[in-house]
């Protein structure tokens, strides 16, 4: 009887693992799709990217708690990801200034900008950066949208996304797939930030607010066994900086790679969010044109009879054009698209990769900042 019970338990356990084997197979297909995208990106003629810089926003180190990540680990991860900049947002401490103590300036060929993540009395959280840049963090929980001095909204946050995952499902996904697909495993949980984008679209009718994507990188999720000296003997790290920096990036169009120019471009909205886990989104362009004027994301342009929007994607993609938060164009196979504009509104673009959609459904690759047609 005990033998039969044991066999039944083992059989039941094996049956429960079938969905995770299927998810592992889905990751294999996703990996093949990403490789195909990267091959196509590499094959395409590259435009001049000298004015485009890619980096990550919302990064924490050992300062301010919540993480044991070192400066050396962060610098190394930025270099391995070929980032141009990293914006640090350390948690605050009562007795010392974590923003002043964190990475800043050039390190290993990467520009670091020092900042803090701060909390208001009502629980609202902001990313406070030099040059009086204030970015709304966790907009789905933010209350005081009329607060003065707001410059941006973190419409996507890796932590907010992944905390929605079922812990039991995530545990078995890690067992089945982490070793083979440590980065793409995130793709199973990646969702379009519908609520945050809705709040941002509503806010754009009143204020100019730049959309950013937050890595919220802590390098603090995992299990490890350490000796008395702190040396790791065994364990698994699910969110090392090197992985976190591959998931989502901010691509900024600036005159040069300096703190002043980078933050001025960020405030102006001269940037877009790229989920580069699926392929490097460098080279995306969203402009508005008249015969005498061309503006880019974040800018405004007066409505004329011949005003048009121009979208350029690095490879053939599906684009969605939004007008005041509503989709007015949904077209596949686009590399360059010109759209005549006849109404004053706030326009923005989202880009999707058909090869990715076929495997894991509708997941954005690029979220642009808006152009204001006045």
CB atoms within 10 A of CB 220: 15
CB of 287 closer than 8 Å to CB of 296 = yes
**Could you please report the per-residue DSSP string of 246-314?**
HH-EEEEE-SSSSHHHHHHHHHHT-EEEE-GGGS--TT-EEEEEETTEEEETT-EE---TT-EEEEEEE
Handedness of CA 341, 339, 327, 350 (dihedral sign): negative
Structure tokens at 351: 């880009």
Q: Which of 289, 182, 188 shows the shortest CA–CA distance to 239?
A: 182
**Could you please report the per-residue DSSP string of 298-340?**
T-EE---TT-EEEEEEEEEEEEEEEETTEEEEEEEEEEEEEEE
Q: Give ∠ CA 57-59-60 in degrees, rounded to 5.
A: 160
Residue 182: the pLDDT is: 86
Q: Which of 193, 307, 172 shows the shortest CA–CA distance to 248?
A: 193
Close Cβ partners of 22 (under 8 Å, ≥ 6 residues apart): none
Q: How many helices (H) and strands (E) does the chain have?
A: 10, 22
CB of 162 closer than 8 Å to CB of 373 = no
Residue 183: the pLDDT is: 86
Q: Give ∠ CA 277-279-280 in degrees, rounded to 5.
A: 105
Residue 7: the pLDDT is: 80
Neighbouring-strand partners of residue 126: 118, 136
For the chain, which residues score pLDDT lower than 70? 45-50, 220-238
CB of 214 closer than 8 Å to CB of 158 = yes
Close Cβ partners of 327 (under 8 Å, ≥ 6 residues apart): 320, 321
Q: Which of 60, 61, 104 shows the shortest CA–CA distance to 85?
A: 104
- Looking at residue 140, what DSSP letter applies? G
* Residue 205 C-beta-side C-alpha neighbours within 13 Å: 10
Neighbouring-strand partners of residue 364: 352
CB atoms within 10 A of CB 20: 17
Neighbouring-strand partners of residue 113: 87
CB of 109 closer than 8 Å to CB of 82 = no
Element (H, E) at 26: helix 18-43
Q: Which of 55, 107, 16 shows the shortest CA–CA distance to 253?
A: 55
CB of 173 closer than 8 Å to CB of 23 = yes
């Amino acid at each position: 009887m005990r033998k039969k019970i044991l066999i039944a338990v083992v059989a039941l356990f094996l049956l429960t693992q079938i969905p995770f084997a299927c998810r592992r197979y889905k990751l294999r297909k996703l990996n093949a799709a990403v490789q195909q995208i990267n091959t196509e990106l590499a094959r395409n003629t590259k435009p001049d990217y000298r004015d485009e810089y890619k980096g990550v926003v919302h990064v924490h180190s050992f300062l301010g708690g919540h993480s044991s990540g070192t400066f050396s680990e962060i610098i190394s991860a930025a270099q391995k990801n070929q980032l141009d900049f990293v914006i640090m947002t350390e948690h605050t401490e009562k007795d010392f200034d974590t923003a002043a103590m964190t990475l800043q300036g050039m390190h290993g060929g990467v520009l670091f900008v020092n900042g803090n993540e701060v909390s208001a009395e009502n629980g609202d959280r902001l990313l406070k950066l030099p040059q009086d840049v204030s970015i709304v963090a966790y907009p789905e929980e933010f209350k005081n949208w009329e607060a003065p001095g707001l410059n941006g909204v973190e419409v996507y946050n890796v932590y907010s996304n992944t905390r929605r995952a079922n812990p039991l499902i995530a545990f078995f996904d890690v067992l089945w797939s982490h070793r083979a697909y440590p980065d793409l495993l995130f793709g199973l949980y990646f969702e379009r930030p519908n609520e945050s984008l809705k709040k941002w679209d509503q806010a754009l009718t009143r204020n100019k607010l730049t959309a950013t994507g937050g890595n919220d990188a802590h390098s603090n999720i995992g299990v490890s066994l350490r000796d008395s000296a702190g040396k790791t003997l065994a364990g698994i790290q699910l969110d090392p900086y090197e992985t976190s920096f591959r998931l989502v990036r901010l691509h900024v169009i600036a005159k040069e790679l300096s703190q002043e120019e980078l933050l001025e471009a960020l405030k102006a909205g001269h940037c877009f969010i790229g989920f580069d886990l699926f392929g490097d989104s460098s080279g995306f362009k969203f402009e508005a044109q008249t015969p005498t004027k061309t503006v880019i994301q974040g800018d405004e342009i007066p409505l004329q009879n011949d005003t048009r929007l121009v979208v350029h994607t690095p490879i053939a993609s599906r684009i969605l054009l939004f007008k005041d938060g509503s989709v007015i164009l949904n077209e596949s196979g686009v590399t360059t698209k010109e759209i005549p504009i006849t109404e004053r509104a706030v326009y923005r673009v989202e880009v999707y990769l058909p090869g990715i959609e076929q495997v894991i459904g509708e997941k954005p690759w690029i979220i642009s900042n808006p152009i204001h047609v006045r």
